[in-house]
Copies of this chain bind each other. A is one copy, B any other.
């Protein structure tokens, strides 16, 4: 999933969390964060810091990557 806004990130996090059958409070605990912050993140209503983003993604076993914009590559190992 390409992330170009806080909302993109929020949607990605929410989908991954639900796919893993976690509640916001569960994810918050795994990431050492608060449940309200997970809510704000998923709704894209906070401009999270990189540390926060990395904590949440790590808790979901996801990685952040940087790729060239023109290289629209299909990655079969996604999903």
Across-interface contacts of A62 in B (CB, < 8 A): 66-69
A73 to B65, CA, bound (A): 11
- A-B contact sample (15 more), CB < 8 A, given A4-B54, A4-B64: A1-B65, A2-B65, A3-B63, A4-B58, A16-B66, A47-B51, A48-B49, A49-B50, A61-B69, A62-B66, A63-B66, A63-B69, A65-B66, A65-B67, A67-B77
- Copy tally for this chain in the complex stands at 2
Query: What is the total number of residues of chain A having a CB less than 8 Å from a CB of chain B?
Result: 32
A64 to B57, CA, bound (A): 13
Across-interface contacts of A75 in B (CB, < 8 A): 67
Q: Is the CB–CB distance between A63 and B6 below 8 Å?
A: no
